[in-house]
Amino acid sequence: MALGRGLGALIPQQKQTIKSKKQDVALAQEPKADLPIGQAGVNFVEINQIVPNPRQPREFFADAGMEDLVSSVKEHGILQPLIVSPLGGGKYELIAGERRWRAARFSKMKQVPVVVREASTEEKLILALIENLQRQDLNPIEEAKGYKQLVDEFGFTHGQVATKMGKSRPVVANTLRLLNLSEEMQKALMRGKISASAGRVLAGVADKAKQQALFEKILQGLTVRESEIKSRLAKPASHIRRSSKDPVLLDMEEKLRESLKTKVDIKRFGKTYQLAIECYSEEELKKIAKKLL
């Protein structure tokens, strides 16, 4: 399931109903008798009726980003409804929109706009992951932990995670490898001190002492390309897997894939490179060509 389908496409449109009782849902306008779950209509519920999703993949909320969002919410309100799932007893679990929910609490808002959806535990995790990935809100470690939850708790293969999240299998596998890094390196990734590309290079260095030395050089300003070369030199020749793709090329592929919304493959032949972009119709070809030109 690709990211392009959006959040709503992941949740079945069930025709159950919730009653507009004061203790359950506080509407901003005249209450309607029976509002079907999954309809486009927006409810306004008391903010203390909403509890956060315990499986929310995002752990780190940058103070600067939150301050900007709080200021925006104070001035304009919440422009995009939160997505919630009914828990019963007038409570709702937050599926998507935790930054907006936090900003609303900081802004002392009494009510927030929501769209109510039925969702399984698996769907809630996938929805939270997708929303954050679409907005590029997750740092590389949070993204990796989210993928790991899908694998460990729901039995997904790396290929299934890739399909659900609109990624390639190598990208998912390399992202998961970031969890093998030391706590110090993971914190650096979470706080943006080193890039995801640099993290993937570090994850490819088996010797912990050499890995730490390379990490310190990256912190001092070593480029990803330079660090990738050093990581190759740090590996014994017998352990170099020639079939593994250059992490820098993987990163380029991922950026192009995100931009063009289609499968992209980059191959290296000595000093030359081959870029393959898949498209499935003449119309799609024209759209991709327009972006590139």
Distance of alpha carbon 91 from alpha carbon 53, whole angstroms: 12
197 near 251, Cβ under 8 Å? yes
Residues of the chain with CATH 1.10.10.2830: 139-292
**Residues 282, 72: Cα–Cα separation, whole Å:** 42
Model confidence band, residue 229 (pLDDT cutoffs 50, 70, 90): low
Nearest-angstrom CA–CA distance, 135 and 111: 24
Output the CATH code of domain 3-126: 3.90.1530.10
User: From the DSSP assignment, how many helices (H) and strands (E) are in the chain?
Assistant: 12, 9
Average model confidence (pLDDT) for the chain?
75
User: Do 263 and 257 meet the contact criterion of CB atoms below 8 Å apart?
Assistant: yes
The average pLDDT across 127-140 equals 70
CB contact burial 99-114 (16+ within 10 A = b; e otherwise): bbbbbbeebebebbbb
Q: What is the mean pLDDT of residues 226-232?
A: 61
3-state secondary structure at position 109: coil
List every span in the chain annotated with CATH 3.90.1530.10.
3-126
Selecting among 59, 67, 75, 98, the annotated active-site residue is 98
The number of angstroms, rounded, from the C-alpha of 125 to the middle of its chain's C-alpha atoms is 10
Q: What's this model's pTM, rounded to 2 decimal places?
A: 0.53
The answer to which of 21-25, 199-203, 211-215 has the lowest mean pLDDT is: 21-25
Count of C-beta atoms within a 10 Å radius of residue 272 = 7
What CATH number has the domain spanning 139-292?
A: 1.10.10.2830
For 16, residues 6+ apart whose C-beta sits below 8 A from its C-beta are 36, 37, 118
98 is catalytic: yes
The span from the CA of 112 to the CA of 116, in Å, is 12
